[in-house]
Chain A
Amino acid sequence: MPKETRLPNRNRVKRAAAAAALFLMMASAAAAEEPIKIGLGMSLTGPLAANGKMSLVAMQVWESDINAQGGLLGRPVKLVYYDDQSKPAEVPAIYSKLLDVDKVDLIVSGYATPIIAAALPIAMQHDMVLMGLFGLANNAKLKYDKYFGVAPIGEDPVNVLAKPFFDVADTLNPKPSTIAVITPDIQFGHAALEGVRNAAKARNMKVVYDRTFPPGMTDFSTVVREVQAANPDLVFVATQPGQSINVARAIAEVGLNAQMIGGGMTGLQTTDSETILGPQINGLVNFAYWLPAAKLQSPGAMDFLSKYQARAKAEGVDPIGYYVAPWAYADLQMLASAVEETKSLEGDKLAAYLHENSLSTIIGEVKYGPGGEWANPRQFLIQFQNIKTKEPSEFTGTDHLVVVGPPELKSGDLISPFDKAAH
């Protein structure tokens, strides 16, 4: 029977140290492979879905780009997302799942004001940075120091939505003295309404119609006729995507006329809306954040658009993507630059970086103010002109989107009154 021999103590220590080193190396390699997860809810169904899907495709383009460049902090990046069905009520549960079950490292919001409003309290509870895509005045009352709006609406968001509209209205002759507002009975609508009331008051303009409508409303002919009966000089319309189409239709059917109509019709520049409305959209003015116009092309923007358009076409999403897609990409670009520069995923460090630095994105240089909105707003007003058919080919360029203000970005003159451009 062989005699059992024991290793000397020194050898045992060496072996244990080698095993521990091997374990640590493997663990560190595993950590290096572990992706940084960015969680979000996005409207992939329901009335916000057209813009929601556009945003998601843009974010997926960013995901591919960043991973092709080696990821973030040497780790791959993975988007974890769920459909919020365009319902704010679904959002808290989605973000709770993302944070508590999926254990995501970072979060960004889904598309638009009501969705962001539902996600913001969850971000605050977890003390995390929240990038808010296309929200209006989401942080105006909460003043959360880790919220960053991804829309060029500035630190006075309530008043800034209507600003391009009023700036152009100030140049009209005769000077408008009355205004009507068409807007839904939701946070976005009330914020828009407050901004219009403030702007009208500053100009001694009388608000002759400002009744809100329920968000589920689909036929606006009566509302538009009420506005027509009030006979305003200006009509400011602040609506959500599906509503924008139906209000534009009702305006054309009723034959509403004024010196200027439109201003805050979310989603009207999507290919979807444009091809549904065709010539009925002529004459309407609307806010715009970005167009592939020479004065607005930042490095990487056109490269992104070509990647987006190839992917969107294959996935049956808005094939042009001027409206929200570049912003969704820039949303993640800004978050990523904060992560890279701070070498951290901690909310405090990321928020401090985002507040203190100017950020280079495909939609231009972004500098945040203390309230988490752009320090310098950059909106402009476009007017739909010379649209003759509903064919998608009418909308591939920017010829039908004439920038009518501010003066430094103008690409053409406003046609006023509305019916002159509409026919």
Chain B
Amino acid sequence: MLSFSLLSNAIVSGLLLGGFYAGVAAGATISFGLLDIANIAHPAFVVFGAYCAFALNQRFHLDPLLAAVFVTPVFYAVGWFAYQLYHHAFERRGDDSMRGLAFFFGLMFVGEVVLILTFGVDYRYSSAEYTSTTFKLGPVAFPLREVIPFVGSLVILVAAQAFLKRTFTGRAILGVSQDPIALRLMGADPVRLKRIAFALSIALAGAAGALLLVLEPIEPAIGRDFIGRVFAIAVLGGMGSLPGTWVAAVMLGVIENLTSIFAGASWAPAVAFGFLLLTLTVRPSGLFGR
């Protein structure tokens, strides 16, 4: 039975979850949308970030949010090396389409195995007490385990957007995505800029991982649940637009929840991806694409 309470909670929950999806997809928007690197392992990096936050939580009793502060720079360095390897092995030789994809698939599976061997296959979770707390505003519930990832993801996106729009390096990265040859003619090094941008995308994945640990229990293969959603959001948002990513993610979250209450949860993925196809038919460049 449809009620105001059910409808408002579905919209708020979709908004909160969609906001978190935006945090997960932010890095993919940069690597896939701006750099043309189909990093299929992006969700696996998110899960890796979650496990790093978990390890810091277990070893030093660090809150996952505080752990994100330590995880992010480490992941920046990991991304830096990963791009270096990818560039030398594939991109430089022009083998960056199918072989590059295979490289990231490989990274994803190797990453999963490393996590299984290190942490086992059981679900791991944050022991932070606030994950069990829910605030209510009238009939609408705000579970902190959803609110915190939503806010954290918003911070991630705003920071990344500010970097890309307000700094010289950020604007140069946007330039690389539009015309690397022109940028080279102006004396800039596109490879260096792409390295920085890819490292940034992995750093964002690490931060989103810490938020994932707040949202739900994690296991090594949980990243697979996000692959389709992450790339759908990047495409729907307009391939390279971070504000577009946020809007697309929130729309997807709300559509999934509304579909659930009107037609049943089993229809949610089909309707959400149907919406993606419909949007791309009308507007092939995505919501915020140029």
- A214 on the B face (CB < 8 A): yes
- Asked if B235 lies at the interface with its beta carbon under 8 angstroms from chain A, I say no
Which residues of B are found within 8 Å of A212, using beta-carbon distances?
A: 264-266
* Cβ contact of B121, chosen from A53, A245, A249, cutoff 8 A: A53
List B contacts of A211 (CB < 8 A): 264-266
Q: How far is the CB of B146 from chain A (nearest CB, A)?
A: 8
Contact A45 B266 (CB under 8 A): no
- Return 14 A-B CB contacts under 8 Å, by A number: A46-B219, A49-B219, A211-B264, A213-B266, A214-B269, A219-B17, A221-B9, A230-B1, A245-B123, A254-B141, A255-B134, A279-B132, A316-B120, A318-B122
Which residues in chain A, 221-263, are within 8 Å of chain B measured between CB atoms? 221-223, 225-226, 228-230, 242, 245-246, 249, 252-255
- Contact string, B118-157, partner A, CB cutoff 8 A, digits 1/0? 0011110101000010100000010101100000000000
Tell me whether A317 is interfacial, beta carbon within 8 Å. yes
Chain A 33-64: CB-based contact to B (< 8 A → 1; otherwise 0) = 00000000000111101101100000000000
Chain A residues, Cβ within 8 Å of B62: none
Is the C-beta of B3 less than 8 angstroms from some C-beta in chain A?
yes
CB–CB A214/B216 < 8 A: no
The interface residues of chain B lying within 8 Å CB-to-CB of A278 are 132
Complex contact B13–A219 (CB within 8 A): yes
**A185-B266, A222-B261, A223-B260 are contacts. A45–B9 as well, Cβ < 8 Å?**
no
B2 close to A (CB within 8 Å) = yes
Q: Distance (Å) between the CB of B225 and the closest chain A CB? A: 5
Given contacts A45-B220, A214-B266, contact A253 B127 (CB under 8 A): no
CB distance from B39 to the nearest CB of A (A): 21
Interface size class of A (residues with CB under 8 A): 35 or more
User: Bound state CA distance, A46 and B216, in angstroms?
Assistant: 15
Total interface residues on B, CB under 8 Å, equals 38
B5 at the interface (CB under 8 A from A): yes
In the complex, the answer to whether B143 meets A221 with C-beta atoms within 8 Å is yes
Q: Is the CB of A252 within 8 A of B132?
A: yes
Which residues does chain A contribute within 8 Å of B2, judged by CB atoms?
229
Q: How far is the CA of A302 from the CA of B264 in the complex (A)?
A: 45
CB closest residue in chain A, given B115: A45
Q: Across the interface, which residues of B come within 8 angstroms of A222, CB to CB? A: 9-10, 13-14, 257, 260-261, 265
CB-nearest residue of chain B to A271:
B122
Asked if A272 is an interface residue, CB under 8 A from chain B, the answer is: yes
B270-284, CB < 8 A from A: none
Contact (A218, B121) CB under 8 Å given A45-B116, A253-B141 = no
Question: Is A400 at the interface (CB under 8 A from chain B)?
Answer: no
Q: A280: CB under 8 A from chain B? A: yes
Cβ-defined contact, B123 with A242, below 8 A? yes
Q: Which of the residues A229, A242, A272 comes within 8 Å of B6, measured between beta carbons? A: A229
B106 within 8 A of A: no
Verify B265–A213 contact, CB threshold 8 A. yes
A-B contact count (CB 8 A): 111
Pair A214/B6 contact, Cβ less than 8 Å: no
**B268 contacts chain A at the CB level, 8 A cutoff:** yes
Q: Given contacts A222-B13, A226-B261, A254-B141, could you give 10 more A-B pairs where the C-beta distance is less than 8 Å? A: A49-B122, A49-B219, A53-B120, A219-B216, A222-B9, A228-B6, A246-B217, A276-B123, A276-B217, A279-B132
The answer to whether B56 has its CB under 8 Å from any CB of chain A is: no
Cβ of A411 under 8 Å from chain B? no
A214 touches B13 (CB 8 A): no
A50 touches B122 (CB 8 A): yes
Residues of B within 8 A of A249 (CB): 216
Report if A44-B121 is in contact (Cβ < 8 Å); known contacts: A214-B268, A390-B127: yes
Minimal beta-carbon separation of A212 from chain B (angstroms): 5
Residues 101-133 of A contacting B (Cβ, < 8 Å): none
For B10, the chain A residues whose CB sits under 8 A away are 222, 225
B55 CB–A CB distance under 8 Å: no
Hey, which chain B residues are within 8 Å of A246, CB to CB? 216-217
B122 touches A272 (CB 8 A): yes
Say if the beta carbon of A314 comes within 8 Å of chain B: no
What residues of B have a CB within 8 angstroms of the CB of A45 in the complex? Answer: 112, 116, 121, 220-221
Q: Across the interface, which residues of A come within 8 angstroms of B17, CB to CB?
A: 219
A174 at the interface (CB under 8 A from B): no
10 A-B pairs with least C-beta separation:
A49-B121, A213-B265, A211-B264, A229-B6, A316-B120, A253-B143, A185-B266, A222-B257, A272-B122, A276-B125
Closest to B266 in A: A185
Q: Does A30 contact B (CB under 8 A)?
A: no
User: With the chains together, A418 CA to B153 CA distance in Å?
Assistant: 35
Q: How far is the CA of A339 from the CA of B121 in the complex (A)?
A: 34
Cβ contact within 8 Å between B219 and A47: yes
Which residues of chain B are near A279, meaning CB under 8 Å? Answer: 132
What are the residues of chain B within 8 A of A185 when measuring CB–CB? Answer: 266
Q: Which residues of B contact A217 (CB under 8 A)?
A: 265, 268
- Indicate if the CB atoms of A218 and B265 lie closer than 8 Å: no
Residue A216 interfacial (CB < 8 Å): yes
**97-120 of chain B: CB within 8 A of chain A:** 112, 116, 120
